Amino acid sequence: MSSANTHSAADSALGYYYQAVYALRLLLLDHEEACVSIESWDDVYLEKRDRRELHQLKHSLDTTKKIGIKSRGVWRTLTIWLDYCKHQDLSQSRFVLATVAALQPGSPLECLRSDNADRADLVKALIEEAERVRDERQKAKESGKPESKWPHADRSADCARFLEATPVERDSLLKHVTMCPSSFNIGQAKSEIGKILGKLVPASVIQELTKHLLAWWDRQVVETLTGERTDPLHAEEVRAEVVRRAAILLDNGFFEDTDTYYGQIEPSAPGVMHQLDFINATRSQRDRSAPIEMAARAQRAAWMKADMSKATAILNYDKILIKEWSYRFGEKVDNCEGADDATKMSHGRSLLDWSHFNAPHEVRRIDPKYENPDLIRGSYLYLSGSGSVGWHPDYVDLLRAALDEKKGRK
């Protein structure tokens, strides 16, 4: 692939991504009952109650570009909007041309920067430019030049479309048009979103929140474009996601949520129940074990779903839990040397009670702000399922034998 084609593909891809970021910015700025669609009526289509906004975006990585009345993008946009007006009511519509390019000094388009400025001179200038394009192409045709040599091929059809429109159609459209030159470019996307979030959340979480919000938004947009999602993208969703992720970051990511995934959690692993059998666990020990173990797994799942990097933190915390358990377990083994099985079971029940009643006060928390003691209790039970910890002094041999017996039955 040539260098020029590579740049062209990159510009196109970034242009599509720019639409997504621009749409997110709209919802963050105008979040009362608003929703957006991407690549529907226009690049970005915003609805708020009865109001509709069509945003046509012109993105470029070239920061030196200027836009004026001769720019192809202006004429292409006018054609799109005139076609839209043929089928839709303009009374509640607003049209926005947002471009990274700066406006050419003295351009007749300057009036579009204000909703209330008179558009008469602009209409006149557009008609004159469209007629000039038409006349110069006609002159080239009459001179015998092949059509491929006629000037203004990139906007001749759009100029013709503008001339075909009635004076009322032109005036009505341009009264509802706003232009936003020198808009942010894709390289400034994180900064632009971060500035808005700075008005909503503490400064300490803005950088990380921006990264997570954009990643979540990218997924929503992809599902919209692939048809996996048929509903528009709503401001309420964005606001809820901002609040949720900000809360997670303010809590260092260790927030309280054992309910969201509890219903999706599989029953406790066979090893958990085997370990209780080895020590002849009491009824109260058995009754509390399964729900606490499942709740701990649900909490761990919630953390990892919100932030995959938490998987490493949880793994490291498991090592701490195992290390603290190993000190107590070593003592139980020493105390049970030469003892009968009833004595070993008794020491095992005592160690299980330690994991429930004492460990939450003696073992360091996963985070100082996270106070639910059931995480430690349930995590010890979860770890017992894999044999990482155990209660009976001989649990390793007993668990291996139980699992081997199960395999043999299969």
> Each residue of 165-177: pLDDT tens digit?
999 999 999 999 9
Residues 6+ apart with CB under 8 A from 150: 137, 140, 141, 156
The predicted pLDDT at position 408 comes to: 62
Residue 2 has pLDDT above 60, yes or no: no
* Residue whose structure tokens are 């090893």: 271
Could you tell me the CA-to-CA distances from 1 to 6, 7, 13, 62 in Å, in that order? Answer: 7, 10, 16, 21
Sheet with 93-99: strands ordered across = 177-180, 93-99, 51-58, 44-48, 34-38, 233-234
Q: Which amino acid is at 277?
A: D
Residue 150 CB burial class (10 angstroms; 0-12, 13-18, ≥19): middle
Residue 7's pLDDT band, with cuts at 50, 70 and 90, is very low
Encode pLDDT of 107-135 as tens digits.
Answer: 999 999 999 999 999 999 999 999 999 99
Instruction: State the pLDDT at residue 39.
Output: 73
Q: What's the whole-model pTM score?
A: 0.64
Tell whether the model's pLDDT for residue 8 goes beyond 60. no
> Which residue do the tokens 């958990």 mark?
272
- List pLDDT tens digits, range 26-60: 999 876 789 998 876 668 999 988 889 999 999 88
Evaluate if residue 4 carries a pLDDT over 50: no
The pLDDT of residue 87 is above 50: yes
What are residue 381's phi and psi, to 5 degrees?
A: -65, -40
In the structure, what pLDDT confidence band is assigned to residue 198 with cuts at 50, 70 and 90?
very high
Q: 9-18 pLDDT, tens per residue?
A: 566 778 889 9
